[in-house]
Amino acid sequence: MQINQALVAHYKCKALPIDDLAHMVSLSKDYLEEKPTWYEVNGRLNYFKKRNDYRLFTELFFGYFGSEILGLDTLEYRLASVRKIDPDHPYGGNPDLGLLSENFQNKELYNYYLVSELMDSKVLGLNGCDYSLTGLLKSFEQFLDVECYNMCKDFLIKLFIADAFTMQLDRNPNNIGFEVPKIDGIKYTSRLRGLHLKKHGYKGHYVLDKHNYPHITNFRPSKVYDNERIFGVDHKNVFSYKPGDVWTPIWPYSSDFLFQTQDEAIEAQELFSDGMDPNLASLIIDYPECISIIDRLANDDEYRGILEKFKGQDSPVILSPEDLEYFRRLFSDRRKVFKKVLQLQ
Protein backbone atom coordinates (compact mmCIF):
# COMPACT_ATOMS: atom_id res chain seq x y z
CA MET A 1 0.00 0.00 0.00
CA GLN A 2 1.25 3.45 -0.89
CA ILE A 3 0.10 6.87 0.33
CA ASN A 4 -0.44 9.36 -2.47
CA GLN A 5 1.05 12.41 -0.76
CA ALA A 6 -0.23 14.74 -3.46
CA LEU A 7 -3.81 14.04 -2.33
CA VAL A 8 -3.26 14.31 1.43
CA ALA A 9 -4.96 17.39 2.85
CA HIS A 10 -2.98 19.31 5.50
CA TYR A 11 -4.52 20.99 8.54
CA LYS A 12 -3.46 22.79 11.68
CA CYS A 13 -6.02 22.01 14.37
CA LYS A 14 -6.74 22.89 17.96
CA ALA A 15 -7.93 20.14 20.24
CA LEU A 16 -11.22 20.87 21.99
CA PRO A 17 -11.68 20.50 25.77
CA ILE A 18 -13.58 17.40 26.84
CA ASP A 19 -16.31 19.44 28.55
CA ASP A 20 -16.92 21.42 25.35
CA LEU A 21 -17.02 18.22 23.29
CA ALA A 22 -19.56 16.66 25.63
CA HIS A 23 -21.99 19.45 24.70
CA MET A 24 -21.28 19.12 20.98
CA VAL A 25 -21.50 15.36 20.40
CA SER A 26 -23.71 12.72 21.94
CA LEU A 27 -20.98 10.49 23.34
CA SER A 28 -20.12 9.63 26.91
CA LYS A 29 -17.38 11.56 28.67
CA ASP A 30 -15.46 8.33 29.24
CA TYR A 31 -15.47 7.66 25.48
CA LEU A 32 -14.36 11.22 24.72
CA GLU A 33 -11.52 10.98 27.21
CA GLU A 34 -10.41 7.72 25.59
CA LYS A 35 -10.66 9.18 22.06
CA PRO A 36 -10.29 12.98 22.37
CA THR A 37 -9.09 13.68 18.81
CA TRP A 38 -11.92 16.00 17.76
CA TYR A 39 -10.92 19.17 15.93
CA GLU A 40 -12.55 22.14 14.30
CA VAL A 41 -11.66 22.24 10.61
CA ASN A 42 -12.91 25.20 8.59
CA GLY A 43 -15.46 25.91 11.28
CA ARG A 44 -16.84 22.35 11.33
CA LEU A 45 -16.30 19.71 13.99
CA ASN A 46 -14.32 16.70 12.71
CA TYR A 47 -13.14 13.44 14.23
CA PHE A 48 -9.60 12.32 13.44
CA LYS A 49 -8.41 8.71 13.39
CA LYS A 50 -4.64 8.57 13.52
CA ARG A 51 -3.59 5.84 11.10
CA ASN A 52 -0.65 4.88 8.91
CA ASP A 53 -1.53 1.34 7.89
CA TYR A 54 -4.08 -0.68 5.91
CA ARG A 55 -6.93 0.66 8.04
CA LEU A 56 -6.72 3.75 5.84
CA PHE A 57 -7.86 1.53 2.99
CA THR A 58 -10.42 -0.59 4.87
CA GLU A 59 -12.33 2.40 6.23
CA LEU A 60 -12.39 4.11 2.83
CA PHE A 61 -13.38 0.90 1.05
CA PHE A 62 -16.32 0.15 3.33
CA GLY A 63 -17.57 3.71 2.90
CA TYR A 64 -17.91 3.07 -0.85
CA PHE A 65 -19.05 -0.54 -0.53
CA GLY A 66 -21.74 0.10 2.05
CA SER A 67 -23.27 3.07 0.24
CA GLU A 68 -22.87 2.12 -3.42
CA ILE A 69 -23.72 -1.58 -3.21
CA LEU A 70 -25.99 -1.93 -0.18
CA GLY A 71 -27.45 1.54 0.13
CA LEU A 72 -26.19 2.11 3.69
CA ASP A 73 -25.60 5.65 4.88
CA THR A 74 -21.86 5.43 5.49
CA LEU A 75 -19.47 8.00 6.84
CA GLU A 76 -17.26 9.88 4.39
CA TYR A 77 -13.57 9.90 5.27
CA ARG A 78 -10.76 11.95 3.79
CA LEU A 79 -7.06 11.29 4.17
CA ALA A 80 -5.41 14.09 6.09
CA SER A 81 -2.23 15.21 7.80
CA VAL A 82 -3.08 16.96 11.06
CA ARG A 83 -0.69 19.14 13.03
CA LYS A 84 -2.09 19.78 16.51
CA ILE A 85 -1.37 23.20 18.00
CA ASP A 86 -1.68 24.18 21.66
CA PRO A 87 -0.38 26.98 23.93
CA ASP A 88 2.90 25.14 24.53
CA HIS A 89 3.45 24.54 20.80
CA PRO A 90 1.85 27.49 18.96
CA TYR A 91 3.30 26.30 15.64
CA GLY A 92 2.20 22.73 16.17
CA GLY A 93 3.96 19.47 16.88
CA ASN A 94 4.79 16.74 14.42
CA PRO A 95 1.96 16.06 11.95
CA ASP A 96 -0.06 12.85 12.18
CA LEU A 97 -1.53 10.99 9.21
CA GLY A 98 -5.02 9.61 9.40
CA LEU A 99 -8.67 9.90 8.45
CA LEU A 100 -10.89 12.91 9.05
CA SER A 101 -14.66 12.63 9.11
CA GLU A 102 -17.08 15.49 9.65
CA ASN A 103 -19.37 15.22 12.65
CA PHE A 104 -22.76 14.10 11.38
CA GLN A 105 -24.72 14.82 14.54
CA ASN A 106 -27.11 17.75 14.84
CA LYS A 107 -27.78 17.90 18.57
CA GLU A 108 -30.11 20.86 18.17
CA LEU A 109 -32.63 18.67 16.34
CA TYR A 110 -31.91 15.05 17.29
CA ASN A 111 -31.10 12.74 20.15
CA TYR A 112 -28.53 10.09 19.25
CA TYR A 113 -28.25 6.64 20.80
CA LEU A 114 -25.63 3.94 20.46
CA VAL A 115 -26.82 0.39 20.98
CA SER A 116 -24.75 0.35 24.18
CA GLU A 117 -26.89 3.22 25.46
CA LEU A 118 -30.12 1.54 24.40
CA MET A 119 -29.05 -1.42 26.51
CA ASP A 120 -28.48 0.86 29.51
CA SER A 121 -31.36 0.57 31.99
CA LYS A 122 -31.19 4.34 32.59
CA VAL A 123 -32.08 4.94 28.91
CA LEU A 124 -34.12 1.97 27.75
CA GLY A 125 -32.70 -1.35 28.88
CA LEU A 126 -33.98 -3.14 25.76
CA ASN A 127 -35.68 -5.57 28.12
CA GLY A 128 -32.58 -7.65 28.79
CA CYS A 129 -31.57 -7.88 25.13
CA ASP A 130 -28.57 -10.03 24.27
CA TYR A 131 -26.19 -8.38 21.81
CA SER A 132 -26.94 -10.19 18.58
CA LEU A 133 -28.91 -9.48 15.42
CA THR A 134 -31.87 -11.54 16.63
CA GLY A 135 -31.67 -9.97 20.09
CA LEU A 136 -31.73 -6.43 18.71
CA LEU A 137 -34.59 -7.13 16.32
CA LYS A 138 -36.69 -8.75 19.01
CA SER A 139 -36.15 -5.78 21.33
CA PHE A 140 -36.73 -3.17 18.63
CA GLU A 141 -40.06 -4.79 17.77
CA GLN A 142 -41.20 -4.22 21.35
CA PHE A 143 -40.71 -0.43 21.47
CA LEU A 144 -40.88 0.84 17.85
CA ASP A 145 -43.88 1.42 15.62
CA VAL A 146 -44.20 -0.87 12.60
CA GLU A 147 -42.72 1.59 10.08
CA CYS A 148 -39.65 2.35 12.21
CA TYR A 149 -39.16 -1.30 13.08
CA ASN A 150 -39.17 -2.30 9.40
CA MET A 151 -36.71 0.49 8.56
CA CYS A 152 -34.36 -0.55 11.36
CA LYS A 153 -34.73 -4.24 10.50
CA ASP A 154 -33.78 -3.51 6.88
CA PHE A 155 -30.78 -1.48 8.07
CA LEU A 156 -29.55 -4.08 10.56
CA ILE A 157 -29.88 -6.95 8.10
CA LYS A 158 -28.01 -5.03 5.38
CA LEU A 159 -25.31 -4.05 7.88
CA PHE A 160 -25.01 -7.67 9.02
CA ILE A 161 -24.66 -8.88 5.42
CA ALA A 162 -22.11 -6.16 4.61
CA ASP A 163 -20.09 -7.19 7.66
CA ALA A 164 -20.35 -10.85 6.66
CA PHE A 165 -19.11 -10.21 3.13
CA THR A 166 -16.15 -8.13 4.31
CA MET A 167 -15.51 -10.32 7.39
CA GLN A 168 -15.95 -7.42 9.80
CA LEU A 169 -14.70 -8.45 13.24
CA ASP A 170 -15.31 -5.30 15.24
CA ARG A 171 -19.00 -4.41 14.97
CA ASN A 172 -20.01 -3.74 18.57
CA PRO A 173 -22.57 -1.85 20.70
CA ASN A 174 -20.50 1.33 20.43
CA ASN A 175 -20.51 1.57 16.63
CA ILE A 176 -24.16 0.98 15.73
CA GLY A 177 -26.21 4.13 16.25
CA PHE A 178 -29.69 5.59 15.84
CA GLU A 179 -31.37 8.98 15.98
CA VAL A 180 -34.78 10.37 16.86
CA PRO A 181 -36.09 13.98 16.79
CA LYS A 182 -35.49 15.79 20.05
CA ILE A 183 -38.50 16.88 22.10
CA ASP A 184 -38.18 20.08 24.14
CA GLY A 185 -38.85 19.31 27.78
CA ILE A 186 -38.07 15.60 27.50
CA LYS A 187 -34.75 14.39 28.91
CA TYR A 188 -32.38 12.27 26.86
CA THR A 189 -32.92 9.32 29.20
CA SER A 190 -36.73 9.55 28.83
CA ARG A 191 -37.03 10.20 25.10
CA LEU A 192 -37.51 6.56 24.11
CA ARG A 193 -39.90 5.62 26.90
CA GLY A 194 -43.31 5.45 25.25
CA LEU A 195 -45.23 5.31 28.53
CA HIS A 196 -43.48 8.49 29.69
CA LEU A 197 -44.39 10.31 26.46
CA LYS A 198 -47.98 9.10 26.71
CA LYS A 199 -48.27 10.14 30.35
CA HIS A 200 -47.11 13.68 29.56
CA GLY A 201 -49.26 14.06 26.45
CA TYR A 202 -46.58 14.12 23.74
CA LYS A 203 -48.83 12.86 20.96
CA GLY A 204 -47.29 12.50 17.51
CA HIS A 205 -44.15 10.94 18.94
CA TYR A 206 -45.69 7.54 19.57
CA VAL A 207 -48.49 5.34 18.26
CA LEU A 208 -50.71 2.99 20.25
CA ASP A 209 -50.97 -0.70 19.47
CA LYS A 210 -54.16 -2.74 19.89
CA HIS A 211 -53.38 -3.13 23.60
CA ASN A 212 -53.10 0.68 24.00
CA TYR A 213 -49.32 0.42 24.51
CA PRO A 214 -47.25 3.31 23.00
CA HIS A 215 -44.53 2.58 20.42
CA ILE A 216 -41.94 5.19 19.41
CA THR A 217 -42.12 6.83 15.96
CA ASN A 218 -39.50 8.63 13.78
CA PHE A 219 -36.64 6.49 15.13
CA ARG A 220 -34.10 5.65 12.44
CA PRO A 221 -30.50 4.52 11.89
CA SER A 222 -27.67 7.04 11.88
CA LYS A 223 -24.51 6.77 9.80
CA VAL A 224 -22.35 3.62 9.66
CA TYR A 225 -18.75 4.04 10.78
CA ASP A 226 -15.77 2.21 12.28
CA ASN A 227 -14.84 -0.47 9.74
CA GLU A 228 -11.22 -1.19 10.53
CA ARG A 229 -11.05 -4.91 11.24
CA ILE A 230 -12.24 -6.31 7.94
CA PHE A 231 -10.74 -8.52 5.21
CA GLY A 232 -8.43 -10.22 7.69
CA VAL A 233 -6.24 -7.12 7.76
CA ASP A 234 -4.24 -6.71 10.94
CA HIS A 235 -3.40 -3.20 12.16
CA LYS A 236 0.29 -4.15 11.97
CA ASN A 237 -0.01 -4.17 8.16
CA VAL A 238 -0.32 -7.95 8.04
CA PHE A 239 -2.79 -9.91 5.90
CA SER A 240 -4.03 -12.69 8.18
CA TYR A 241 -6.94 -14.22 6.21
CA LYS A 242 -6.52 -17.83 5.08
CA PRO A 243 -8.80 -19.71 2.64
CA GLY A 244 -11.38 -21.63 4.62
CA ASP A 245 -11.54 -19.17 7.52
CA VAL A 246 -15.05 -18.93 8.94
CA TRP A 247 -16.52 -15.55 9.80
CA THR A 248 -16.47 -15.09 13.60
CA PRO A 249 -18.22 -11.78 14.31
CA ILE A 250 -18.52 -10.29 17.79
CA TRP A 251 -21.97 -9.17 16.61
CA PRO A 252 -23.37 -12.61 15.73
CA TYR A 253 -26.74 -13.65 14.36
CA SER A 254 -27.60 -15.16 17.75
CA SER A 255 -25.66 -15.55 20.98
CA ASP A 256 -25.20 -19.25 20.11
CA PHE A 257 -22.95 -18.19 17.21
CA LEU A 258 -20.57 -16.00 19.18
CA PHE A 259 -17.48 -18.07 18.44
CA GLN A 260 -14.22 -17.39 20.21
CA THR A 261 -11.95 -19.30 17.81
CA GLN A 262 -11.83 -20.58 14.26
CA ASP A 263 -11.99 -24.14 15.60
CA GLU A 264 -15.32 -23.41 17.34
CA ALA A 265 -16.71 -21.80 14.19
CA ILE A 266 -15.60 -24.65 11.93
CA GLU A 267 -17.07 -27.24 14.31
CA ALA A 268 -20.45 -25.45 14.35
CA GLN A 269 -20.34 -25.08 10.58
CA GLU A 270 -19.89 -28.81 10.11
CA LEU A 271 -22.23 -30.00 12.86
CA PHE A 272 -25.15 -27.58 12.74
CA SER A 273 -25.37 -25.93 9.32
CA ASP A 274 -24.34 -28.58 6.82
CA GLY A 275 -20.96 -27.02 6.09
CA MET A 276 -22.36 -23.50 5.62
CA ASP A 277 -21.59 -20.32 7.54
CA PRO A 278 -23.81 -20.69 10.66
CA ASN A 279 -24.57 -16.97 10.95
CA LEU A 280 -25.56 -16.54 7.30
CA ALA A 281 -27.41 -19.85 7.13
CA SER A 282 -29.67 -18.85 10.00
CA LEU A 283 -30.20 -15.39 8.53
CA ILE A 284 -31.39 -16.66 5.15
CA ILE A 285 -33.73 -19.20 6.75
CA ASP A 286 -35.36 -16.75 9.18
CA TYR A 287 -35.37 -13.64 6.95
CA PRO A 288 -35.93 -14.72 3.32
CA GLU A 289 -36.25 -11.05 2.33
CA CYS A 290 -32.44 -10.93 2.48
CA ILE A 291 -32.06 -13.49 -0.34
CA SER A 292 -31.91 -10.87 -3.11
CA ILE A 293 -29.00 -9.08 -1.39
CA ILE A 294 -27.08 -12.29 -0.74
CA ASP A 295 -27.72 -13.40 -4.33
CA ARG A 296 -26.39 -10.09 -5.64
CA LEU A 297 -23.17 -10.34 -3.66
CA ALA A 298 -22.75 -14.01 -4.58
CA ASN A 299 -23.22 -13.58 -8.32
CA ASP A 300 -22.13 -10.02 -9.13
CA ASP A 301 -18.65 -8.58 -8.82
CA GLU A 302 -19.49 -4.93 -8.19
CA TYR A 303 -16.78 -4.83 -5.55
CA ARG A 304 -14.23 -4.88 -8.37
CA GLY A 305 -15.26 -1.37 -9.35
CA ILE A 306 -14.55 -0.19 -5.83
CA LEU A 307 -11.15 -1.89 -5.78
CA GLU A 308 -10.38 -0.08 -9.03
CA LYS A 309 -10.70 3.22 -7.16
CA PHE A 310 -7.51 2.31 -5.28
CA LYS A 311 -5.33 1.59 -8.31
CA GLY A 312 -4.62 4.92 -9.97
CA GLN A 313 -2.96 8.18 -9.07
CA ASP A 314 -6.33 9.78 -8.35
CA SER A 315 -6.66 7.72 -5.15
CA PRO A 316 -5.16 8.93 -1.84
CA VAL A 317 -4.38 5.28 -0.97
CA ILE A 318 -2.90 3.15 -3.76
CA LEU A 319 -2.87 -0.65 -3.51
CA SER A 320 -0.02 -2.65 -4.97
CA PRO A 321 -0.71 -5.49 -7.44
CA GLU A 322 0.00 -7.94 -4.60
CA ASP A 323 -2.52 -6.15 -2.36
CA LEU A 324 -5.17 -6.25 -5.07
CA GLU A 325 -4.59 -9.96 -5.64
CA TYR A 326 -5.07 -10.67 -1.92
CA PHE A 327 -8.41 -8.84 -1.85
CA ARG A 328 -9.58 -10.46 -5.11
CA ARG A 329 -8.88 -13.92 -3.68
CA LEU A 330 -10.70 -13.06 -0.48
CA PHE A 331 -13.75 -11.74 -2.34
CA SER A 332 -13.74 -14.85 -4.50
CA ASP A 333 -13.86 -16.96 -1.33
CA ARG A 334 -16.66 -14.84 0.14
CA ARG A 335 -18.72 -15.21 -3.02
CA LYS A 336 -18.37 -19.00 -2.76
CA VAL A 337 -19.63 -18.85 0.83
CA PHE A 338 -22.62 -16.73 -0.21
CA LYS A 339 -23.40 -19.04 -3.15
CA LYS A 340 -23.39 -22.05 -0.86
CA VAL A 341 -25.77 -20.36 1.58
CA LEU A 342 -28.17 -19.63 -1.29
CA GLN A 343 -28.72 -23.38 -1.62
CA LEU A 344 -30.90 -23.15 1.50
CA GLN A 345 -33.62 -21.11 -0.21
For residues 253 and 278, the answer to whether their CB atoms sit within 8 Å is yes
Residue with the larger pLDDT of the pair 37 and 56: 56
pLDDT of residue 87: 62
Which tens digit of pLDDT belongs to each residue from 228-249?
999 999 878 889 999 989 999 9
Residues 237 and 216 both lie in one domain: no
pLDDT of residue 128: 65
Q: Residue ranges of the alpha helices (H) in 167-244?
A: 194-199
Name the pLDDT band for 91 (thresholds 50, 70, 90).
low
Residues 98 and 115 both lie in one domain: no
pLDDT at 93 over 80: no
Counting the structural domains of the chain, the total is 3
pLDDT at 127 over 80: no
For the residues 241-259, what does the mean pLDDT come to? 94
For the residues 299-323, what does the mean pLDDT come to? 93
pLDDT of residue 74: 97
pLDDT at 88 over 70: no
Q: For residue 160, tell me if it sits in a domain.
A: no
Residues 275 and 208 both lie in one domain: no
Q: For residue 168, tell me if it sits in a domain.
A: no
> DSSP E strands: which ranges in 37-196?
38-41, 44-50, 78-85, 96-102, 110-114, 177-181
pLDDT of residue 29: 73
Residues 271 and 198 both lie in one domain: no
Residues 195 and 292 both lie in one domain: no
pLDDT of residue 192: 96
Q: For residue 273, tell me if it sits in a domain.
A: yes
Name the pLDDT band for 46 (thresholds 50, 70, 90).
very high
Q: For residue 171, tell me if it sits in a domain.
A: no
For the residues 152-171, what does the mean pLDDT come to? 97
Name the pLDDT band for 35 (thresholds 50, 70, 90).
confident
pLDDT of residue 184: 93
Spatial CB neighbours of 163, under 8 Å, sequence gap ≥ 6: 171, 230, 249, 251
Residues 239 and 303 both lie in one domain: yes
The pTM of this model reads: 0.94
For the residues 252-258, what does the mean pLDDT come to? 94
Residues 297 and 253 both lie in one domain: yes
For the residues 294-302, what does the mean pLDDT come to? 96
User: Where does a domain end: 221, 253, 274?
Assistant: 221
Name the pLDDT band for 125 (thresholds 50, 70, 90).
confident
Q: Return contacts of 301-304, CB within 8 angstroms, 24+ apart.
A: 301/331, 301/335, 302/68, 302/69, 303/65, 303/69, 303/331, 304/328, 304/331
pLDDT of residue 42: 84
Query: Which residue range forms the structural domain that includes residue 27?
Result: 2-102
Integer CA distances (angstroms), 243 to 185, 232, 239, 274, in order: 55, 11, 12, 18
For residues 227 and 75, the answer to whether their CB atoms sit within 8 Å is no
Residues 319 and 252 both lie in one domain: yes
pLDDT of residue 55: 94
Cβ atoms within 10 A of the Cβ of 297, count? 22
Residues 200 and 254 both lie in one domain: no
pLDDT of residue 247: 95
pLDDT of residue 1: 92
pLDDT of residue 269: 92
Q: For residue 163, tell me if it sits in a domain.
A: no
pLDDT at 139 over 70: yes
Residues 124 and 58 both lie in one domain: no
pLDDT of residue 335: 97
Q: Give the relative orientation of helices 146-166 and 291-299 as an angle to the nearest 10 degrees.
A: 20
Average pLDDT, the chain: 92
Q: For residue 150, tell me if it sits in a domain.
A: yes
Q: Which residues of 104-113 are buried (b: 16+ CB within 10 A; e: fewer)?
A: bbeeeebbbb
pLDDT of residue 86: 73
Q: For residue 227, tell me if it sits in a domain.
A: no
For the residues 66-81, what does the mean pLDDT come to? 96
For the residues 202-208, what does the mean pLDDT come to? 94
pLDDT at 89 over 70: no
Using alpha carbons only, how large is the chain's radius of gyration in Å?
Answer: 22
